[in-house]
Chains A and B, each alone.
Chain A
Amino acid sequence: MNTIALGLSRARYETRVYFRQGDTVFFTFLFPIVMLTIFSVAFSAAGNFGTNPDGSGGISAAAFYVPGMIAAGILLSGVQNLAVDIAVERGDGTLKRLGGTPLPVVSYFIGKIGQVLITSLAQIALLLLIARFAFNVALPTDGGKWLTFVWVYLLGIMTSAVLGIALSRIPRSGKSATAVIIPIVLVLQFISGVYLQFSQLPTWLQNVASVFPLKWMAQGMRSVFLPDSFSRVEQNGSWDLGLVALVLAIWLVVGLVAARFTFRWIRKD
Chain B
Amino acid sequence: MTSSEAHISVRDLRKQYGSFTAVDGVSFDIERGETFALLGPNGAGKSTTIEILEGYRDRSGGEASVLGVDPQHGGLDWKARLGIVLQSSGESGNVTVKEQLAHFAGLYPNSRDVDEVIAAVGLTEKAKTRIKSLSGGQRRRVDVALGVIGRPELLFLDEPTTGFDPEARREFWELIRSLKREGTTILLTTHYLDEAAQLGDRAGVIAGGRLIDIGRIDEIGAADARTPVVRWHDQNGLHEERTTEPARVVAQLYAATGAEPSGLEVIRPSLEDIYLGLVGAHLREESTPSGEAATEAQSKELA
Contacts and interface: CB of A to CB of B under 8 A. Distances in A.
A114 to B, nearest CB: 14
A103 interface: yes
A16 B99 contact: yes
Contacts of A128: none
A97 B86 contact: yes
Given A100-B82, A102-B80, 5 more contacts: A20-B94, A89-B91, A93-B88, A99-B56, A100-B84
A101 B107 contact: yes
Given A16-B95, A100-B82, A6 B90 contact: no
A104 B76 contact: yes
A41 B187 CA distance: 64
Interface residues of A, number: 24
B92 A21 contact: yes
Contacts of A100: 54-56, 79, 82, 84, 86
Given A21-B94, A92-B91, A101 B99 contact: no
Rank and list the top 5 A-B pairs by shortest CB-CB distance, nearest first.
A100-B84, A102-B80, A20-B94, A102-B76, A92-B90
A104 B76 CA distance: 7
A17 interface: yes
Interface string B104-141: 10111100000000000000000000100000000000
A93 B57 contact: no
Given A96-B86, A266-B56, A102 B92 contact: no
Contacts of A102: 76-77, 79-80, 107-109, 150
A13 interface: yes
19 contacts: A9-B103, A13-B103, A20-B95, A89-B91, A91-B90, A92-B92, A93-B89, A96-B56, A97-B84, A100-B54, A100-B55, A100-B79, A102-B76, A102-B79, A102-B109, A103-B107, A104-B76, A268-B57, A269-B58
Contacts of B58: 268-269
A101 B104 contact: yes
Contact of A9 (B57, B92, B106): B106
Between B54, B92, B146, the greatest number of chain A beta carbons within 10 A of the residue's beta carbon is seen for: B92
A99 B55 CA distance: 9
A238 interface: no
A93 B140 CA distance: 13
A69 B92 CA distance: 30
Interface in B43-97: 54-58, 76-77, 79-80, 82, 84, 86, 88-92, 94-95
A99 B57 CA distance: 12
Interface of B: 17, 54-58, 76-77, 79-80, 82, 84, 86, 88-92, 94-95, 99, 103-104, 106-109, 130, 146, 150
Contacts of A148: none
B89 A97 contact: yes
A262 interface: no
A171 B198 CA distance: 44
A94 to B, nearest CB: 5
Contacts of A9: 103, 106
Contacts of B150: 101-102
B79 A94 contact: no
A91 B88 CA distance: 12
B79 A93 contact: no
A234 B41 CA distance: 68
A91 B80 CA distance: 24
Interface string A86-115: 001101111011011111100000000000
Given A101-B108, A102-B79, A94 B91 contact: yes
Contacts of A101: 79, 104, 107-108, 150
Nearest to A107: B107
A6 B107 contact: yes
Interface in A1-53: 6, 9, 13, 16-17, 20-21
